[in-house]
Amino acid sequence: MQGTVRLRKSAGPPGTGSARVTSVQTIRTARADELTEVQRIEVASGAPFREIGMTWVADMPPLPLDVLAAARRAGRVLVTVDPDDRPIAFVVVDLVDGCAHVQQLSVDPAYARQGIGRRLLDAVAERAAGEGLPALTLTTFRSVPWNGPYYARCGFRELVGAEVTPGLVELLAAEAALGLDPADRVAMRRAVG
């Protein structure tokens, strides 16, 4: 999957979301040699959790290289790259209960708040529709502003009761086993097509 987006140019200190790129950005499948950069972006994007007292989330390790490599071989790791073809954001997608499940979405904090994450989600939705999948799903923190509320603005809605499919129930249980508070975790869905 490839696509382009346009952003204006400016500069700012790292982590402020004020770095912008010129001309065209591409969304494409990640290359094998980019997976360590994907991990770096994931770690960097966790830093804001420290500011809201969720240090343990910020300290969580990134997705392991073998998991990323398997997802990449399946064509399920997309990156947004800058004009120099360097990744600045990524999404890892899995298949859960017949839907494209957003396993991880991260944007380098230097490029935050520019719609890059939303465009990655739109690219995943376009790809899912092309594969005949009905929806995107994800699990996230209900109360963290750049999690549940952000995804709601991107067209996701919270699933309740029987809407939470067996695979999502399993994922939420696995997250709870890792120490994530089940009261603040939510499954969400966005229809595609």
Averaged pLDDT score across all residues of the chain: 89
pTM: 0.87
Task: Check: CB of residue 139 under 8 Å from CB of residue 187.
Answer: yes
Placement of tokens 């899912």 in the chain: 128
Measure the CA–CA gap between 193 and 188, rounded to whole angstroms. Answer: 17
Measure the CA–CA gap between 193 and 129, rounded to whole angstroms. Answer: 5
- At residue 20, the pLDDT reads 56
Q: Domain ranges in the chain?
A: 3-191
> What does the pLDDT look like over 63-108, one tens digit per residue?
999 999 999 999 999 999 999 999 999 999 999 999 999 999 999 9
Helix runs in 3-47, H state only: 35-46
One-character DSSP codes across 74-91: TT-EEEEE-TTS-EEEEE
CATH class assigned to 3-191: alpha beta
Task: Check: CB of residue 88 under 8 Å from CB of residue 21.
Answer: yes
> What does the pLDDT look like over 124-175, one tens digit per residue?
999 999 999 999 999 999 999 899 999 999 999 999 999 999 999 999 999 9
> What does the pLDDT look like over 30-60, one tens digit per residue?
999 999 999 999 999 999 999 999 998 899 9
